[in-house]
Structure 1
């Protein structure tokens, strides 16, 4: 089947690794990672790209719900498949259940190389706040921002040398007064997204001309099981 991948640059390392391991030759259309901070802008960008795609039978959308940015999207003439995850963090951890297990009782702020290198992230914003308000005031502001978080979880996906980022991520954890952890990640969910079969418990399939609605994120019974729902933490 003639297929195109539309993916967020935030998971570029992991997607490229998955593509290499399974020998996939689908072309990839990359979407700027900074757009995930503005769901409406991301939705507008995605729909614009979808409207201009032609000569394909299938689009694999390597995105999560991303603040409901995918709600309202409509593939004009091809079917579209995307993972049943709230965001790419869940995709890289393997499941909502795994995400909730790793979060534990305290909130976890997740981080990967992709988020660290994105155009806008909380670390950049924190540094800008220090320059603008001074360290003392910036720390007070971010103590409120992070009042529900106890840990900074750096996801080890195996798609890059994590050691090159340990010093920086430890500094981020220290500055934001969060416990530091390296957490095991996976690219297996991404591989399944690329190859199928697409179990409806893990993936959502949208037919040509169909519009993504809130109902699509639920299972056939109209409700996800508790273990399949994410306790939403955040990421840089």
Structure 2
């Protein structure tokens, strides 16, 4: 199996696939990365269609030609979007993240602390709002304030608790899954993740109004680009990143590592 290591010194050729919501942050970091980055962004909507997203992501990975040292995959488990993803001839490098929110918050540990302290929280970033706005305009031409927000959190809850589904019959399993989804849909708090590197006039007030219109408490937290910085720069520790060797696939890991690689 390919060994995971700290900060390689060579200049790598890296193919990057990432969610559109990460565009601003990744382009900011990429300007100061020593490696050559070829970045493709995928639509935000795959968060709601993880199986379709996995098929699209696998198709793109399969089409990557020779000449790249690694393929970087900018997604968390995101409703099992990563589960079953296969490395062909080129190793994959994936952050150990429950979903994309982990990438904005800097670590899976910080994400879990915030999730456990306030499970009924909906998170906003500039990229998340832009992707939602575009999706609504493409479909209906309506304003975000008039629509339900895309779901967050339920896939994460299911990933964390899927171990409890083992040994249940189909009816029990379906009931527990529905209860988990229902619980995670009860939002009471909206949080804007802000970065000192980006100033967007009116963003805080817009999110505040979105929260007030839904009866949510509004707060801001500082984002952390450290995890994304280490991902693009090649500072890959085993604690933070999974390197998937050729011929291996990604599966969920319930021992605290989020994801692991197993032979295909």
Q: State the secondary structure of the residue aligned to 1:22.
A: coil
Shift of 1:151: 1.2
> In the aligned structure 2, how far is the partner of 1:213 from the partner of 1:147?
25
| 2:130 match | 117
3-state SS of the aligned residue for 1:85?
coil
SS in 2 for 1:169: helix
- TM superposition shift of 1:120: 4.2
Pair 1:40 & 2:63 matched: no
For residue 176 of structure 1, report the CA deviation from its aligned partner: 1.2
3-state SS in 2 of match to 1:66: coil
Report how many residues are paired: 206
TM superposition shift of 1:44: 1.0
| Gap change, CA 1:190 and 1:102, over 3 Å in 2 | same
**1:105–1:32 CA distance, 2 compared to 1 (3 A):** closer
Counterpart for residue 241 of structure 2: 203
CA shift at 1:147, angstroms? 6.4
- Rounded to whole Å, the distance in 2 between the matches of 1:147 and 1:211 is 31
Select which of 181, 196, 214 maps to 1:158. Answer: 196
The correspondence for 1:169, drawn from 207, 217, 221, is: 207
Deviations 1:15-34 (A, max 9, x none): 11111243543110111112
Q: Partner of 1:117: helix, strand, or coil?
A: helix
Q: Deviations over 1:5-59 (max 9, x none)?
A: 1111111001111112435431101111122211011011101101111112210
* Paired position in structure 1 for 2:87: 75
| Counterpart in the other structure of 1:91 | 103
Question: Per-residue displacement from partner, 1:200-233 (whole Å, max 9, x unpaired)?
Answer: 111111011212123xx35xxxx118xx89xxxx
1:66 matched to 2:78: yes
Distance 1:66 1:147, change over 3 A: closer
**TM-score when normalising by structure 1:** 0.78
- The answer to whether the 8 A contact 1:40-1:69 is kept is yes
Contact 2:120 2:185 in 1 (8 A): no
Question: By how many angstroms is 1:163 displaced?
Answer: 3.2
Choose from 10, 25, 37 the match for 2:21: 10
- Flag structure 2 segments of 5+ consecutive residues without an equivalent: 1-11, 137-141, 149-181, 260-264
Who is 1:127 aligned against? 146
Secondary structure of 1:199's match? coil
1:192 matched to 2:192? The reply is no
2:121 corresponds to: 108
